Amino acid sequence: MPVKTSVRTTKSWGASPLVDGRWRFRLWAPDAKAVAVELPTGSNDLERQGEGWWSVETDAQAGDSYRFVVDGFAYPDPAARTQQGDVHGPSLLVDPEGFAWRNQWAGLPWTQAVIYEMHLGTFTGDGTFAAATAWLCRLRDLGVTLIELMPVAQFDGRYGWGYDGVLPYATHSAYGSPDDLRRFVDAAHGLGMGVLLDVVHNHLGPSGNYLAAWCPSFFHPDRRSPWGQGIAYETAAVRDFFIENALYWLADYRLDGLRLDAVHAIEDRSPVHFLDELGQRVRAVDWGRPIHLITEDERNLTRYFGKGAPFDATWNDDWHHAVHCLLTGEEESYYAPFAADPLADIETALCDGYVEQGQPRPATDTLRGEPSADAPPTKVSDVNKICRIIIGELQEIIIEAP
């Protein structure tokens, strides 16, 4: 089968290059009275369109700085591909077709996944894409086949876990440029390894989240998440902001899949749940390579990675909790049920996947989970193939889909 070299997807929000050298600037701002884009050459007013959208086409070039001006106040593009500096300053125009890829890549099947989770800020050297690229041969020689990058979306400050990103489309400037990430992915592919990315679609971080200031409709007035304002996933433009984000990372950076953080925190009452639509839209694209979608879901549900579901796997936190209790003796909070008999829980995890499958458990009155024993034995039987590796710490065995 021929290897696809490029897939282009639609990006509704933000700045996009057009075929004639001009750029389109588009913003969903239903609460605004006036919107403009501020470029080095001057300010351009966006025209109001239907359903809360504003848009303008004008001359610009890759590398230009820009900001959206909403009702007189300047903000970074919420869908910026990169920032000039931190989350508070101007955004920069990036040509998604400007990088010269060197390696064709047909991808890897899920059954060959040996996953190494990488935090760029702590991995090696100066904590950048470039520094990590220099170590890829070591990971290949270790037997790693898929590298899972922890979130790289722009967050406030230089250091952090990445789970409080506020510009989901932008690479964190401390890690390097968009092309630095592309070089990392390209080099990994050249060595026969794929790259997954951890993405956060359940909330936006607290610092630098300017959407709350100029677009209150982005958030649900009666909804709160563990991290602040709840997101209005039922609204089409908001929904597309995150689903197109998933497509964007896969298309612009040729990633091999995504790990979706804390999907249990995505509260959506649409007829088709946000998570289902995201999976369906990813699977509707002919990527020319296997795309792996992995969830983190503390509800211990099985339908998202069951037969015919669009997801390949889910993290098995139960395995981690049981091993953690066995090694440390900790028995507080959510560890308490796993501290009663951690060895038995480890056996259950190896046989069935989930430990908590809706049955009564010690030290808790909460029933959690669904039966998972019917999933194929390969989901956890080959620990060397299907696992998550972190330096110095045992972590979750991944539950594989049929």
Asked if pLDDT for residue 182 goes beyond 80, the answer is yes
Percentage with pLDDT > 90 across the chain: 81
CATH number of 110-400: 3.20.20.80
Question: What integer pLDDT is reported at residue 125 of this predicted model?
Answer: 80
Point out the catalytic residue in the list 261, 268, 297, 317: 261
Point out the catalytic residue in the list 268, 296, 317, 356: 296
Residue 117's pLDDT band, with cuts at 50, 70 and 90, is very high
Task: Identify which of 105, 388, 369 has the alpha carbon closest to the alpha carbon of residue 259.
Answer: 388
Superfamily of domain 14-92: Immunoglobulins (2.60.40.10)
Question: What integer pLDDT is reported at residue 376 of this predicted model?
Answer: 55
Question: What integer pLDDT is reported at residue 10 of this predicted model?
Answer: 79
pTM attached to this predicted model: 0.91
What are 63-83's pLDDT values in tens digits?
999 999 999 999 999 999 999
Question: What integer pLDDT is reported at residue 384 of this predicted model?
Answer: 30
Is 148 one of the annotated active-site residues of the chain?
A: no
Task: Identify which of 264, 282, 244, 215 has the alpha carbon closest to the alpha carbon of residue 53.
Answer: 215
Residues of the chain with CATH 3.20.20.80: 110-400
What are 98-110's pLDDT values in tens digits?
999 999 999 999 9
What are 219-233's pLDDT values in tens digits?
999 998 888 899 999
Question: What integer pLDDT is reported at residue 373 of this predicted model?
Answer: 85
Report H helices in 36-166: 120-123, 129-133, 136-142
Task: Identify which of 260, 182, 259 has the alpha carbon closest to the alpha carbon of residue 6.
Answer: 182
Q: Average pLDDT for residues 322-350, to the nearest whole number?
A: 95
Q: What is the DSSP string of 55-86?
A: EEEEE--TT-EEEEEETTEEE--TT-SEESSS
Asked if pLDDT for residue 58 goes beyond 50, the answer is yes
Is 297 one of the annotated active-site residues of the chain?
A: no
Asked if pLDDT for residue 398 goes beyond 90, the answer is no
Residues of the chain with CATH 2.60.40.10: 14-92
Asked if pLDDT for residue 28 goes beyond 90, the answer is yes
Q: Average pLDDT for residues 260-280, to the nearest whole number?
A: 96
Among 7-21, 138-152, 383-397, the least confident range: 383-397
